[in-house]
Structure 1
Amino acid sequence: MFFPILVAATTAVLATGAEVLHSMRIRKVRHLAFGPAGGFSAPTILAPVLRVLFLGGLAWALTTLYLLEPKAHRSEVKEIESNERRHLLLVLDVSPSMKLKDSGEDSGLTRTQRSSKLVQSLLKRTTDDKLHITMVVVYNGAKPVVQESRDLEVILNFLDGMDMSSVFPVGKTRLFDGLEEAAKIARNWPSNSATLLLVSDGDTVPATGMPKMPPSIDGVLVMGVGNPTKGSMIDGRQSRQDVGALQQIASRLGGQYHDGNMRLVPSSVLNGLGSLKT
């Protein structure tokens, strides 16, 4: 661009004039400054030249930056065609019983916190760049909160202690509503392109009403959280991980059950779930 060059040249001319004026003033006292001979040393002669070049270059750089059009530099993510996408469909129980603290090796985590650790561990081991994540939360009803995202940070943000039960009316946990919502979302996906991941304590699971999964669901993993042997009080009753109910859900969906209260999901299990690669 011409204007930055003009500004740089003008700055250099003005700086040169200032250096000449300064040099003339120094000559009058050169014997005091440089000794009886009054000779200028090599650095003293070179310094004015370097200052002029520096100021000219600085003027050009700042003017160029000022005139450049702002541009956001973002990494380009290649768009994946819908028929080539792989899907992870996460159904997460966010009912009040999930806030009970009886999970983890020392029972020091809430069931929600343990769920977050399980899902985070799983997501951080996935390597498929075609994987799109959809997340449905369920309590007294079901709501999709993320649909077909490839940004893991979005999912992790929802899992990082966010209280999502407050968006539902108070009532009984309707876990099958979450599965039904998941089935609706996955209905139009290609066959065998999705893995269904259900995370719950199995509290108040009905005996009937299991939704049928569409052909797009290639693998199902049900992860249980909460102490399966020792109950905690909530709403005047004992609540514990209902292993039997969760195993039945996994069996009826043609999937696997994993007790995640103490152990993370092994990579060998994840590799057998169809759309997940580790």
Structure 2
Amino acid sequence: MVTTPLLLALAALVLATGAEWLHLGRVRSVAALAFGPGKKAALAGKAAPFIRIAGLAALIWGLATLMILPPAAHRSVVKEVEPKDRQHLLLVLDVSPSMRLRDAGPGANESRMARARAVVESIIARTAHDKLHTTVVAVYNGAKAVVEETRDLEILHNLMDDLPMHQAFPSGKTKLLDGLTEAARIAAKWPRGSATLVLISDGDSVPATGMPKMPPSIGGVLVAGVGDPLKGTFIDGHHSRQDGVTLRQIATRLGGEYHDGNTKLVPTAMLQRLGTLAVDNSARLPGQRELAIFLTALGAFLLAGLPLLLHFAGSRWNPGPNRVRTSISRSSKLTASHP
């Protein structure tokens, strides 16, 4: 589907280039009439063929892309989904103070919470939204259910947009098992295989026993780590870094998968292996619709504005009554100065 607009734009590019080549031969035969005795076009005239070709290709690609992309509808009334048909994303989010350290991301300049937000948004962007309900459990020195079964993505954005949720807990050590226990309690009432558990953290010391058993509703588990796994950052009397070994152990004990999300987002193949999130294989590239709209407008503007540009700046030669009067005036002055 993505290649169809590219093929159409390439075909338009080739045909327009051939047409401009033929047109160039015709222009040369009347160059004296169009551009004056010098037979040379101004800069705008020389650039006109390239502007036409680029504008036509951009317009074709933009229109073809908009025609193929599924329509995006924004409804004020959201249709309720029956509980038995709901798809659940159960997010256990580490909100400890160490998640505010800025050593995450490809450039190692993002906070760990910002990176966690990027991981979550990438997952949601590739899943079916109509039936997806998201539940968030915040975990630090204890666990609290922040929101249950929401379909409003803006709520998730606000929760993970540098909101200091750690202040809702007493200071202490991070207890990821408390968050998993709370998640199991919430998911116990959901239908079998209808939920995916996603744990995002920079790590924690987990005891050898006490791992909560997930209810039948949890059909897939993903543990994603954030933070630099190699270089630690000093906080609260110790160096904090992503404890990938511990997070991988948690994933293994829960029968799920571990992914280091510090520099790379969760692969689509991994989401498909979870089996409980309906991954949209036809999901558009981020910003594709906006890019198509921009190129459509740009191509139409170039093609519509080119005649006006050529009229005023296409040639250095400016024939007409004003030029004739100027020539007569100069001739009179020369005659008067040389009787």
TM-score by shorter chain over 0.5: yes
Distance 1:127 1:219, change over 3 A: same
1:205 Cα offset (Å): 3.0
The structure where helix makes up a greater share of residues is 2
Match of 2:145 in 1: 144
Distance 2:128 2:166 in 1: 31
SS of the equivalent of 1:227 reads: coil
Match of 2:245 in 1: 244
Match of 2:78 in 1: 77
Match of 1:189 in 2: 190
1:213-249 deviations in whole A, cap 9, x for unaligned?
A: 0000000000000111111111221211111110010
Distance 2:125 2:164 in 1: 22
SS of the equivalent of 2:212 reads: coil
> Letter of the aligned partner of 1:225 in structure 2?
V
Match of 1:105 in 2: 106
Asked whether the 8 Å contact 1:193–1:274 carries over to 2, the reply is no
User: Whose RCO is larger (CA < 8 A, sep 6+)?
Assistant: 2
1:128 Cα offset (Å): 4.0
> Letter of the aligned partner of 1:148 in structure 2?
E
Distance 1:154 1:124 in 2: 15
Match of 1:161 in 2: 162
Superposition TM-score, scaled by structure 2 size: 0.59
Distance 1:223 1:153 in 2: 22
Of 116-125 and 191-200, deviating more is: 116-125
> Letter of the aligned partner of 1:144 in structure 2?
A
Aligned length: 206
- State whether structure 2 residue 177 is matched by structure 1 residue 176: yes
Distance 2:128 2:194 in 1: 15
Distance 2:179 2:224 in 1: 15
Distance 1:235 1:188 in 2: 39
Distance 1:232 1:221 in 2: 25
Distance 1:127 1:134 in 2: 16
1:111 Cα offset (Å): 1.0
1:74-129 deviations in whole A, cap 9, x for unaligned?
A: 62222111111110000000011111111111210111111111111211222241
Distance 2:274 2:153 in 1: 19
Identity of aligned residues (%): 61
1:35-56 deviations in whole A, cap 9, x for unaligned?
A: xxxxxxxxxxxxxxxxxxxxxx
Q: Could you tell me which runs of 5 or more consecutive residues in structure 2 were left unpaired when the two chains were aligned.
A: 1-74, 281-339
Distance 2:239 2:246 in 1: 16
SS of the equivalent of 2:119 reads: helix
**Structure-to-structure mapping, 1:47-66, within 5 angstroms:** none
SS of the equivalent of 2:230 reads: coil
SS of the equivalent of 2:273 reads: coil
Distance 2:77 2:112 in 1: 37
Asked whether the 8 Å contact 2:175–2:204 carries over to 1, the reply is no
Asked whether the 8 Å contact 1:173–1:205 carries over to 2, the reply is no
SS of the equivalent of 1:169 reads: coil
Asked whether the 8 Å contact 1:202–1:245 carries over to 2, the reply is yes
1:15-49 deviations in whole A, cap 9, x for unaligned?
A: xxxxxxxxxxxxxxxxxxxxxxxxxxxxxxxxxxx
Match of 1:205 in 2: 206
Distance 1:131 1:214 in 2: 19
Distance 1:110 1:145 in 2: 21
> Letter of the aligned partner of 2:224 in structure 1?
M
Distance 2:142 2:247 in 1: 18
Distance 2:151 2:143 in 1: 22
Distance 2:101 2:206 in 1: 17
Match of 2:315 in 1: none
SS of the equivalent of 1:272 reads: helix
Distance 1:179 1:86 in 2: 19
Asked whether the 8 Å contact 2:177–2:211 carries over to 1, the reply is yes
- State whether structure 2 residue 117 is matched by structure 1 residue 116: yes
Distance 2:117 2:181 in 1: 22
Superposition TM-score, scaled by structure 1 size: 0.71
